Amino acid sequence: MTKYVCIDCGYIYDPAKGDERRGIAVGTSFASLPDFWRCPVCDVAKSDFAPW
Protein backbone atom coordinates (compact mmCIF):
# COMPACT_ATOMS: atom_id res chain seq x y z
CA MET A 1 0.00 0.00 0.00
CA THR A 2 1.08 3.55 -0.72
CA LYS A 3 2.68 5.73 1.92
CA TYR A 4 1.54 9.35 2.20
CA VAL A 5 3.58 12.35 3.32
CA CYS A 6 2.34 15.43 5.14
CA ILE A 7 3.28 18.33 2.91
CA ASP A 8 3.48 20.65 5.93
CA CYS A 9 5.78 18.77 8.29
CA GLY A 10 7.11 15.72 6.46
CA TYR A 11 5.41 13.09 8.64
CA ILE A 12 4.88 9.91 6.62
CA TYR A 13 1.77 7.79 7.07
CA ASP A 14 2.76 4.15 6.54
CA PRO A 15 -0.18 1.73 6.19
CA ALA A 16 2.12 -1.06 7.39
CA LYS A 17 2.36 0.73 10.74
CA GLY A 18 -1.04 2.41 11.04
CA ASP A 19 -1.49 4.95 13.83
CA GLU A 20 -2.23 2.90 16.92
CA ARG A 21 -2.16 5.88 19.25
CA ARG A 22 -5.24 7.17 17.42
CA GLY A 23 -6.94 3.81 17.04
CA ILE A 24 -5.86 3.19 13.44
CA ALA A 25 -5.04 -0.48 12.95
CA VAL A 26 -1.99 -1.81 11.17
CA GLY A 27 -2.86 -2.35 7.50
CA THR A 28 -5.22 0.63 7.17
CA SER A 29 -4.74 2.30 3.79
CA PHE A 30 -4.59 6.09 3.64
CA ALA A 31 -7.88 6.14 1.71
CA SER A 32 -9.51 4.14 4.51
CA LEU A 33 -8.51 6.58 7.25
CA PRO A 34 -11.53 8.31 8.78
CA ASP A 35 -12.09 11.90 7.66
CA PHE A 36 -11.45 13.14 11.20
CA TRP A 37 -7.94 11.68 11.19
CA ARG A 38 -5.28 14.40 11.27
CA CYS A 39 -1.51 14.54 11.06
CA PRO A 40 -0.15 13.26 14.42
CA VAL A 41 2.66 15.82 14.29
CA CYS A 42 1.18 19.10 13.02
CA ASP A 43 -2.58 18.39 13.10
CA VAL A 44 -3.44 19.24 9.48
CA ALA A 45 -6.22 17.39 7.64
CA LYS A 46 -5.87 14.49 5.19
CA SER A 47 -6.11 16.94 2.29
CA ASP A 48 -2.60 18.16 3.15
CA PHE A 49 -1.07 14.75 2.39
CA ALA A 50 0.36 13.56 -0.90
CA PRO A 51 1.44 10.11 -2.13
CA TRP A 52 5.04 9.39 -1.13
User: Which residue stretch of 17-25, 26-34, 39-47 sits at the interface with Fe ion (rule: CB under 5 A)?
Assistant: 39-47
In whole angstroms, give the CA distance from residue 27 to residue 9.
23
33 binds Fe ion (CB under 5 A): no
9 binds Fe ion (CB under 5 A): yes
> Nearest approach, Cβ of 29 to Fe ion (angstroms)?
18
39 binds Fe ion (CB under 5 A): yes
26 binds Fe ion (CB under 5 A): no
What is the DSSP secondary-structure string of 6-44? ETTT--EE-TTT-BGGGTBPTT--GGGS-TT-B-TTT--
